Amino acid sequence: MPVDSSRVEKHIIIGGGVGPMAGVALHGKIIEATRAPAGDASHIAVIHLSDSAAIPDRTGYLDALARGAANLVNPGHAMAAVVGRAARALPANTAAVAGIPCNTFHAEPIYSAFQDEVEKTGPALTVINMLTATVDLLKERIGSGTGQRVGVFATNGTRSSRIYDSLLAAHGYRIVQVPEALQPLVHDAIYNPEWGIKAVSPVTGKAAAAVREMALHLVRDRVEAIIPACTELPLALPGTEFEAIPLVDPVLALARALVRDAAPDKLMPLPA
């Protein structure tokens, strides 16, 4: 699609549904991160396509891939199709920048397939990697990596894919996780069909308590920042700090990176 450079502000595409409430959180954080002196009219256009049923579960895919299962649908390909559908809603001559608010989605076998597909559509559609944006926000909050301990908690899929391990190590941080024995509780807080964050909105007391218990483990383990590395977790752990330790929310990081890319002059300063 030829892009008219006179329309400099890009639209933002949210590849949502993974999970659906994480897309809503990202959408809200984009609005909050935008300067809007003229009210509604100042806001950046957002196309948010949330089609959960079209995207296979990311953790399930990675598990099946590790078991050597055949004929799997890669969630990266499925999401590229969703983003392609969303792009059909763009006005003529308008570029867009897309983000996917799901950590597990950024595991290499999924994200690289997604990025390859999206890049085929041409230069008018670009993608922000949420993990890269998270490291940028981590640097803003606690400085460049010089061996700081950074707590990460995540789904089984994100943890076993080790995406944060290599990312943080590459930037000079040391990853700290909850003990293996407690990992099922983190997973349950997200996925439990009776009380997990994905199944019940708003967040149940049981899920919130489990998430806080995990965060306390990391605090006692002397971390200097915490990355709640599943997009559902900040719903149970809101705000920018927990027990005086900075929370570096990947969804907030992605929201800010999308605004910066679409309309840099509109990016609000980080809340104090």
Binding region for a copy of itself (CB under 8 A): 11, 16-21, 23-24, 27-28, 31-32, 36-43, 45-55, 57, 85-86, 88-91, 191, 193, 196, 198-199, 201-202
Minimum Å gap between C-beta 18 and a copy of itself is 7
Return the half-sphere exposure (C-beta side, CA atoms, 13 A cut-off) of residue 7: 15
Block residue for tokens 């104090």: 272
Rounded to whole angstroms, how far apart are CA atoms 177 and 159? Answer: 9
Shorter beta-carbon distance to a copy of itself: residue 25 or 226: 25
- CB-CB contact of 129 with 163 (8 Å): no
Query: Of 60, 104, 59, 105, whose CA–CA distance to 82 is shortest?
Result: 105
Of 30 and 168, the one with the shorter C-beta distance to a copy of itself is: 30
Q: In the numeric block, which tokens belong to residue 46? A: 């957002």
Cβ distance to a copy of itself smaller for residue 79 or 218: 79
- Between 47 and 236, name the residue whose CB sits nearer to a copy of itself: 47
Longest dimension (CA), the chain: 56
Smallest gap from residue 146 Cβ to a copy of itself (A):
34
* Residue closer to a copy of itself (CB basis): 53 or 181: 53
* Minimum gap (Å) between residue 49 Cβ and a copy of itself: 6
Q: In whole angstroms, what is the distance from residue 49 CA to residue 72 CA?
A: 23
For the CB of residue 158, give the shortest distance to a copy of itself in the complex, in Å: 15
Residue closer to a copy of itself, measured from CB, 229 or 255: 255
Q: Which is nearer to a copy of itself, 112 or 201 (CB)?
A: 201
CA distances from 67 to 21, 57, 111, 191 (A): 30, 15, 19, 21
Reference 255, options 244, 242, 241, 270; nearest CA is: 270
CA–CA distance, 84 with 265 (Å, rounded to integer): 27
Q: Which long-range contacts (CB under 8 A, 24 or more apart) does 185-188 make?
A: 185/210, 185/213, 185/214, 186/153, 186/154, 186/155, 186/210, 186/211, 186/214, 187/155, 187/156
